[in-house]
Amino acid sequence: MGELSGIAIGVTAERRAGEFIAALERSGAEVRHAPTITIVPLDSDPELRAGTEAVLAAPVGFTVVTTGAGFRGWLDAAEGWGLREGLLAALGESRIYARGPKAVGAVRGAGLRESFSAASESNAELFGALAAAGVGGERVAVQLHGTPLPELTDPLVHAGASLVQVQPYRWHSPPDVTPVYDLIDAAVAGELDALAFTSAPAAANFLTLARTSGHYDELVAALRGPLVVACVGPVTAAPLEAAGIGTLQPERQRLGALVKLLVTTLGKA
């Protein structure tokens, strides 16, 4: 019997869901899985290819890497289009700003070197440092992850930068939202002990689908109650916190740390 025996946890992730679910089940949890987003395949994403070609169209002064997975996925897609080497050469001539150790690992794994890494692993620190570096008149390549960040990128444009934004892992609602509606019903009915979120788009679209299901108010009330809402980090938690929902987050923004947090919070001695 594991520490989470008899504990029901809802998981909303699509990417790396199998790894996350397996770790929870090894601890004895009963997992209810309902992906709240579907990720567009990278190598067949015309917007990503167009963005990559735009980056290559002229020299780049700065490159922003927000996630390690997104950066590696971008390079993998570029390789399939025959553009990887050219892209690496272009980015290598720029000053690379990375958000935290995972982004740094992806940059260095590609044979590049960062000029700056955000110690807090926050986008706010990352883009703040970039703005302070002086981007007026510079072309800036921004690798986004999952969703645009206008509150952080617009100030760069106002400062005179020319932005080229690429967005690996674009997403949309799943083709069948019935499992998500079922998970919402389970949360409202008190059948879950916790909900776990690993990306901001998944959290945001969970709330959006709650509205379309007609159970938004009941869901928010449940999430503000005894049901534990656990997020891998503050970026993921932001849509929930904006709705007045308190969240728990591990000190390290990692799946393994999230599993340990759930065990510590809900586990049985």
Question: pLDDT tens digits for 199-212?
Answer: 888 999 999 999 99
Domain termination site, one of 166, 185, 213: 166
Strands (E), the chain: 8-11, 30-33, 38-39, 62-65, 95-98, 116-117, 139-143, 162-166, 171-172, 194-197, 228-231
- Report residue 146's pLDDT band, with 50, 70 and 90 as the boundaries: low
- Mean predicted confidence (pLDDT) in 220-249: 93
What is the DSSP pairing of strand 62-65 with strand 194-197? unpaired
Distance CA 203, CA 196 (A): 9
Kindly state whether residues 27 and 88 are assigned to the same domain.
no
Q: Does the residue 2 lie in any domain?
A: no
Alpha-carbon distances, residue 170 vs 1, 58, 126, 143, 197 (angstroms): 39, 25, 21, 12, 17
Are the CB atoms for 66 and 103 separated by under 8 Å? yes
- Report residue 268's pLDDT band, with 50, 70 and 90 as the boundaries: low
Cα 104 to the center of its chain, rounded Å: 16
Residues in a beta bridge with 117: 98
User: What is the secondary structure of 199-248 as a DSSP string?
Assistant: -HHHHHHHHHHHHHHT-HHHHHHHHTTTSEEEESSHHHHHHHHHTT---B
CA angle 10, 264, 101 (to 5 degrees): 80
**pLDDT > 90: percent of the chain:** 76
Q: Does the residue 88 lie in any domain?
A: yes
The distance between the two most distant Cα atoms of the chain, rounded to a whole number of Å, is: 61
Kindly state whether residues 113 and 217 are assigned to the same domain.
no
Distance CA 185, CA 218 (A): 9
Judged against a pLDDT cut of 50, whether residue 139 lies above it is answered with yes
Kindly state whether residues 46 and 160 are assigned to the same domain.
yes
Q: Does the residue 3 lie in any domain?
A: no
CA angle 128, 201, 15 (to 5 degrees): 110
Domain termination site, one of 166, 196, 224: 166
Total domains in the chain come to 2
Question: pLDDT tens digits for 52-84?
Answer: 999 999 999 999 999 898 899 899 999 999 999
Per the model's pLDDT, the better-predicted residue between 45 and 220 turns out to be 220
Residue 269 pLDDT? 46
Residues in a beta bridge with 140: 62, 163
Are the CB atoms for 113 and 79 separated by under 8 Å? no
Query: In which domain, by residue range, is 212 found?
Result: 8-37+174-266
Residues in a beta bridge with 163: 140
Residue 43 pLDDT? 77
Looking up tokens 């167009």 gives 50
Domain termination site, one of 147, 166, 185: 166
Kindly state whether residues 181 and 72 are assigned to the same domain.
no
Task: State the CATH number of the domain containing residue 223.
Answer: 3.40.50.10090
Kindly state whether residues 23 and 124 are assigned to the same domain.
no
Residues in a beta bridge with 97: 64, 116
